[in-house]
Structure 1
Amino acid sequence: MIVSIEGIDGAGKNTLVRALTEKIEAQVLAFPRYETSIHAQLANEALHGRMGDLTDSAYGMATLFALDRHGALEQLNAPGLLLLDRYVASNAAYTAARLLDDAATQWVAELEFGRLGLPRPALQVLLDTPAELAQERAKRREALDAARTRDRYESDSGLQERTAAQYRRLAAQNWQSPWIVAAPEEDPGQVATRIIEFLGSIK
């Protein structure tokens, strides 16, 4: 059973994952898998300006992120509860925001759930953090950790705002599976409880 935690950079995904793992037993996987996936590493190189004009291609970047997830197919299909820090919805939201085209979310769904055969999540959770707050968190994170230099997506405030709007659109239509939306002022422990209650209702 997969639960994906979604939101723009700095939304608080790691914090919610920690709150959940304090309450329930689950495996955790974060995308992109920069440490182990060649596709994620190439995407990271592009996002930091070291792959020529690759980053200019929204479809090219989306395909690299999709292939990163495809490389984790065995883990995604393993038994038990799996918490994901980002999943397919992230690709859908960012790609649609980059292309200014809502239809791009369907292209991502067909690529990842269709052609690549990724399993659909049982639940998707949107941390609906305002872009301004998320940007401040990302800046603080960068200042505290030299390894967390913001990439081209993270430093583009306009893209972050459009991506947040796309995420809200996906959640409103329960894109691909049920969604829970967490308000920015909601305590992570309370959000974790809501998630656990939902999972209990579908067992």
Structure 2
Amino acid sequence: MGMLVVLEGLDGSGKRTLAAALRQELADRGLRATSLAFPRYGQSQPADIAAEALRGQHGDLLASINGMAVLWALDRYGARPLLEQLRQEHDVVLLDRYVASNAAYSAARGEAGAEHATMEWVRELEHDRLALPEPALYILVDVEAAVAEQRARHREATEPGRGRDAYERDSTLQDRTATIYRQLAEQQWTSPWVVFRGSAGDGAIEALAGRIEDIRAAGDGRR
């Protein structure tokens, strides 16, 4: 059974670029690697409804922290058969966002001081009730919120259909989310975490691939 490795971070943090580089590095080491991104826009009704809410549709749905969180969770729940298939066919499945993104953004949207309760609610919803598998490793792609925003603005200007949504336009939310991501990594929330602040060419990607190989060799692929 292949292991799940999750890349987390703000929109514009560089997750997609890192996933491509890491997938190639793992393939060069003889591992069958593939990738999947959440939310699954265009493939999942819960994800599409949530995306529409982020763009002003569906009345007051966006105002509901829990309502939006449930939609993101149901998107992943609908992908359980696909995740199972990918894990059967590959050694490593790289996920661009997973349960921790729901914990980080939901906690950041809530009242100060209630972060832990929100994160625990997300964990119980997605891992306990919906039985989504825990990843073998979370990789936090950690950049300053201002850098992520600049990249998101560039993507909006250069890539058709990649306009920023309500979350991405809220700089205060992005700052709080970045802080909570770092807390999740520090707490080693649900799974082992590593923080990535490197770049291609400095050996950081090779080090990540080595960490993945070590976890796989130890047999801790999680269920």
Would you identify which runs of 4 or more consecutive aligned residues in structure 1 move more than 6 Å?
none
Matched, 1:33 2:40: yes
The runs of 5 or more residues in structure 1 that have no matched partner are: none
- Aligned-partner Cα distance in 2 for 1:111–1:178: 20
Displacement of 1:194: 2.1
Q: Which of 61, 69, 73 in structure 2 is aligned with 1:66?
A: 73
- 1:91-102 superposed matches below 5 A: 91-100=102-111, 101-102=114-115
Q: Which of 119, 126, 132 in structure 1 is aligned with 2:146?
A: 132
* Correspondence for 2:12: 10
Q: Which of 163, 182, 191 in structure 2 is aligned with 1:177?
A: 191
Structure ID, larger Rg: 2
Q: Structure 2: which amino acid aligns with 1:63?
A: V
- Aligned-partner Cα distance in 2 for 1:10–1:188: 16
What TM-score comes out, normalization by structure 1 length?
A: 0.96
- Aligned-partner Cα distance in 1 for 2:98–2:75: 10
Q: Which of 140, 143, 146 in structure 1 is aligned with 2:157?
A: 143
* Correspondence for 2:171: 157
Contact 1:4 1:86 in 2 (8 A): yes
Q: Structure 2: which amino acid aligns with 1:133?
A: V
Give the share of equivalent positions with the same residue, in percent.
Answer: 51
Aligned length: 201
Q: Secondary structure at the match of 2:138?
A: strand
- Aligned-partner Cα distance in 2 for 1:136–1:125: 22
Alignment RMSD: 1.1
Displacement of 1:7: 0.1
Could you give the per-residue CA deviations for residues 119-163 of structure 1, whole angstroms, max 9, x where no partner exists?
Answer: 000000001110000000000000112300100001100000000
- Aligned-partner Cα distance in 1 for 2:213–2:11: 29
Q: Secondary structure at the match of 2:95?
A: strand
The runs of 5 or more residues in structure 2 that have no matched partner are: 27-31, 218-223
